[in-house]
Structure 1
Amino acid sequence: MKAKQYGDKAINSLQLMVAIACFILACSVPVRAADIQAFVDRTNTTPGESVHLTVSIKGAGGDVDVSAIRDFKVISRGTSTNYEIVNGRTSWKIVYNYTLIPLKTGRLIIPPLSVESDGKIHRTREIVIQVSKRGQAQERDVFVDARISNPSPYEGQQIIYTFKFYHAVQVARGVNFQKPEFSGFTAKNIESERSYSAVISGRQYNITELRYVLVPLNPGEKIIDPAVLECNVVRSKRNRHRSAFDSFLDDSFFGRGDLDPRILRTEQLKVNVKPLPAYNGEIKFSGLVGKFGIQAELEADTLKVGDSTTLSITINGTGNIMDAEEPEVNVPEAFKVYKDNPEETVKLGTAGYTGKKIFRIALVPIREGHYVFEPIQFSYFDVSKGRYETRSTKALSLMVSPSDEKDTLEVFSAPDMPEKSLKKKVEFTGRDILPLKEGLDALENQKSLSLTGFILFLMIPGLSYLGVRAAFVFTQKSDDPAHIMAQRAENALKDACAIETSEEEFFSCLYKAVISVILSKAGIKGESLTYTEAEKILRTNGYSEEIAKNAANLLEKIESAQYSGLNRDKAFRENLLSETEQMVKELS
């Protein structure tokens, strides 16, 4: 019996020890670390199409650093936070959403991303995205294309660059088009955009077309960089339980539906510019390249001595007509010549520059007779034939009869005569109205002025001028665009710091401050800039590549916070304000 009691006590003691050990072990186990994951909606895509990146942090909060991503344009799509209580246990998860747009084709890498959580730095796994070209137009919802009318033009020959944007789905407003630099060409937009529809491979597309006339400046191989177009494709939310009213609201007019951002690029184009062949013509080359003609006419073919008529010479055609110069005209010596300013009518159309240039010469005969004006010739380079061509007018004749005036206008010169002195002896002709005092007693001593008083008297005009000038400087408002935009940036920062400023007004003021200080460097007024334009302005005005990129990144950060619903708590706004103030200070 006692043995049994001792056995029960031993068992109870053992159970107690096990329970204590389990308790100690449980207390010694560390709190579970945050569970961090990064994943994408697809690992294969095509240029211009986006990839959705999600970074989730479960069990704790944290901040994600996406600055290491270089192969994609990163657009923040905000965050979401989920709280769940299951069987008395609370779970917390925060999700960061990003849209990635590939900047090139090939095997692109999303490197491990740094995530700061619970005072520690965690890293996500590396993700590989394969970006492949897609050749079939019917498989694409949106795409772009660029063509040139002639890949092998002559120097000075105009060619047409055509950009087309095809979209078979709904595209949100705010499409951003960045034309190429057109290095080595003069470029002019022909007309405003043209829109129409076409069926391609059995699928209907809406097409927006832009055209530029390009004129190569010199011979050699030229590269036209890709044109870039940024847009948002509207994706309707699919749900079989949605009502017709919800479908109606999905229309982009009401701002609903998912937006799928795209960056589309055209192919790079090569242009081989041929030099003009050597010119061996007898008359002077006009410098015109294209296709041209010439006409000449006299206002009247009969005239009297002393009257006038006008000789009009018209050069018209397609090409660089604006560069036409007055051709050489042989005018008989019996005419006085008075040239007028040329009249130019040039239009820019689908064929490039076309028009005419009229040169007018007023002719006044001084002798009677019958006069013949020789044909007027000019030479140009005909691009359609690839050789120099000479065009000439017909010969013109003019009959000059005697003047009706009986008296003939003669010009006499004065005969040489000895010069006579024009000086005359000074004579006293009378007295002034007021009598003059002629005696010595007319002189009276006046009170002398001290040296100090004399100096002050001389300084009065200068001091008066300086006072007026200072008042003018302090009271007038500067109309210099650079000064105006710099002042606007300063005022925007003050507005952002105001206590009564709302959240939306706060981000708007920050954006305005950065845009204004960048535009002040270019000396122009404006309200908005693309990131590329902002970076280019700063580089052009001597700022380093690092500062230019930081300014562009700050603009993107402000816009992302303003429109994407990014974490916008007090600490975030204070940090963003500090960054903006520092950037404005660096650029001021």
Structure 2
Amino acid sequence: MKTWIYLIAFSLQLGWLPAQVSFRAEVDRTEVNQGQQFQVNFVINQEGRGFQAPSFEGFRVLGGPATSISSSIDNSGVRYSLTYTYYLRADQIGEHIIGPAKIQVKGKSYQTQNLKIKVVETKRTQSSTEPELAFIKPYANKTTVYVGEPLMVANRIYIRKQLQTGRFNFEETPKFEGFYKEKIQRNNLNEKLEYINNLAYVTANIDEEVIIPQKAGSFDLGSSTISLPVRVNTGKRDYFGFPLSTTKELSLQANYPKITVKPLPDKGRPQNFSGAVGDFSIKSQVSSTEINMDGSISYTIRIEGKGNIKFVELPEIEFPSAFEVFDPEIKESSSVNARGMSGYKEIEYLLVPRYGGSYKIEPIVFNYFDPKQERYVQLETEAFEVNIKGGKAAPNSSKSPLAGESTSDAVDFLNKDILFIKTKASNWHNPNEQFLGSGSFWGWLLSLVSLGLSLIAIWWRKKAEFTNRDSLRKQRAGKAALKKLRKAQEALKANDAELFYQELETAIIGFFSDKFDRGVSGLSKEYLQERLSKAQVLESDIKALLELLEKSEMARFTGLKLEAAAQDYDRAIEVLTEIEKQL
């Protein structure tokens, strides 16, 4: 027991060990025109001291360093990021190297990798069209499939590196008519960095589904539309020379590829084919091959593999008439991922012997279509010989009972809906007997009186609860708001206004994520305003909430005084408490 306790404690300690130090340099583009501005970031995942920037030889420093801190919590623990940002301008044509930045973490020195930047002469004939800040690219891992063959479709979003964005919201999604669909659940977005036309984009799949075609034909899956708020430069600068920015709402729209669904071939189709498409296996087992007359056995069939397992029909089984067969127990499980659908189906029968002797359970034949091989595959389970000890042998004919037999053992088809003839008279009712004044009458009357008294007692108790409901709701609302704002309060006590507004926004979004049972990615300000208005929340409270969110977003780009943060903390508690009472 002590050993297990030590192992659990050691595992918990491992979960809180600090992550390995990562200090890297990032650039939003690797090729720039002469005179063009670009951005360089130096990012570290732990708190550091003594940051030293490189010389930026060959470039003109327009602004920086601007520092920003972000933190989040997921299944792997707490994620921390400290970023130093510089704004540069390329003046000298040629290839330039930005040397490493340096920093100290717990007394140990770390440095970034070198960055190679190519500065080219500006081409006058070059198109003036600006590269896209963000776009989506729906795709499918297959464009030609058979009926019943699963495929994965996804929305892949591309966002320019260093572009500050808000939470995206789906405005339009395809219905996938003619397809069964099931979402792929992920805890985290798997972000990657891709370079397109020498520009860095952060990419991730934001919506993944497995779809299974139900009929043949050519299908236009439709399109997706996503709204994405971003911060863009206004072209102006503040008093200190830093660029000013504003929020812009982008509408990203793109079409899914066309899918061609082929019918399953008629050639080679087995007569007992049930529609299974994929790659499957089947196995059967029996708990014992020798039993006594007073015993029982279980017979199990399991089908598993990759494909449309949810639509696979379990085969029908004909057991020897020497067994009484009880209703089977069916188990099934399936899951979807980027590779499609997989899982199993299992059916277990309980068999009780009715006769003695040796009986054979015949093998089961299962057919499926393999889209990779483009042919039907037939599988067969193992046959079992079961020996039943004791008891009389089964009658020669299983079509009718033996003459003179009067017990249920003479009926071979016991599992059918056959009822035996009753040989004893039932309890008949005397039509001259009166109900009024009888013992049954007084018993029913007493039961009804007791039921009425119980209902009255319940009504009084509910009335008392309703009287105190408003005060209880106020207490719970205040506690919920304080719990969500705890980290913001800690940042306020530490006199860190920037971190305070980050935690304030996280707390507000988390509060309504719990309240509406909706992921944080789908909680835009527009959604909150619409949802709260439908819930008949006071317009003044909705306006105050949106002002707090707007202020939290603006705090990332403009400094706010600590006095304003203290006022906003009190205001947030008041607003969340009032909204909670109205929901």
TM-score, structure 1 normalization: 0.45
- Structure index of larger Rg: 1
